[in-house]
Amino acid sequence: MLNIISEKQPEMARILITGANGQLGNELRMVSKNYYGYDFDFTDADTLDISNQEQTEAYITRSRPDWIINCAAYNLVDKAESEPDTAMLINGTAVKNITETIRGTECKFIHISTDYVYEGNSNTPYNESITAAPQSAYGRSKLAGEKFALLHPGSMIIRTSWLYSSFGNNFVKTILRHAKEKESLRVVFDQTGTPTYAADLAAAIMNIVSGVIRNQFVLNSGIFNYSNEGVCSWFDFATEIVRLAGLSCKVNPVLTKEYQQAAARPVYSVMDKTRIRESYNLSIPYWRESLEKCIKLLK
């Protein structure tokens, strides 16, 4: 077990990021440039494979972080239906490897989860107290990860949704690629949620981390929802991507039942963000404004 003594000066706080080559991890790298004096350690599976218990324990025990931000995940929602054990290993068991190592220490842990843990049949925004009822193997593996994260009292879980970035692979890039090649696209319009620009989430995470380090806030453990503000369908999202990119491709709405996918998705996964907004005094951007910023970067 790790023994972290929190006598370091705030500016020396050591922050370990796992899965740092993904969308959110790369956005955290960008945001970290605004935080002088913090000691960031960006890792990915090649340097720290969190599904390997021995490696995880050895790495964390050696590096003695004050904070761990876990961005590592298995995010292949459809493939998880045929590979549930792999999804569970990376999204579930790997989180246990982290929390068992930091158990009994003051290391703070931010773990990222998903709107896909919600059942998705509501028509009003989900708050964190609603019982999770994931409908897919991916969602079940992420819920298992949340339970392992909560074994450590200093854990904050952030559920996010429809994440995109100028880094990595995501819906925005897929739509842009297809819209450049095709005259029309079919996109589902009966699944409603909210996109999240990973740059906004990374900024929110670092606001929370730095606010806690400066004693502006206390880290509240437990579950918090975070997405951009507003509501849309995947069809609305795709239509706006094509419009902002100045492309002429026609986006046509289709029903989920006309678009075969292995995993069931929530019909409605809009999240109520009151808790995170009020606990950490966050101003959350509207999804269309953030999308515009990302498209400008990608152009």
Ligand X SMILES: NC(=O)c1ccc[n+]([C@@H]2O[C@H](COP(=O)([O-])OP(=O)(O)OC[C@H]3O[C@@H](n4cnc5c(N)ncnc54)[C@H](OP(=O)(O)O)[C@@H]3O)[C@@H](O)[C@H]2O)c1
138 among known catalytic residues: yes
The reply on whether position 75 binds ligand X by CB under 6 A is yes
Residue 163 or 212 with smaller CB distance to ligand X: 163
Residue 194 and residue 229: Cα distance in Å, rounded?
7
Nearest residue to ligand X, by Cβ distance, number only: 22
Residue 158 or 244 with smaller CB distance to ligand X: 158
The reply on whether position 101 binds ligand X by CB under 6 A is no
The reply on whether position 92 binds ligand X by CB under 6 A is no
Residue 290 and residue 294: Cα distance in Å, rounded?
6
Q: Tell me which of 2, 24, 149, 251 binds ligand X, using CB under 6 A.
A: 24
Q: Tell me which of 17, 28, 112, 176 binds ligand X, using CB under 6 A.
A: 112
The reply on whether position 175 binds ligand X by CB under 6 A is no
Strand partners, 126: 271
Residue 156 near residue 204, CB atoms below 8 Å: no
Q: Which of these segments, 30-38, 125-133, 161-169, 217-225, binds ligand X (CB under 6 A)?
A: 161-169
In 142-236, the DSSP E strands lie at 155-160, 163-164, 184-188, 192-193, 196-197, 222-225, 232-233
CA dihedral 21, 25, 31, 37 (to 10 degrees): -90
Task: Write down the catalytic residue from 118, 138, 197, 226.
Answer: 138
Site for ligand X in 131-160 (CB under 6 A): 142, 160
Closest CA to 231 of 113, 142, 123, 119: 123
Strand partners, 251: 185
- Which positions touch ligand X (CB under 6 A)? 18-19, 21-24, 44-45, 49-51, 71-73, 75, 90, 94, 112, 114, 142, 160-163, 168
What is the set of active-site residues?
138
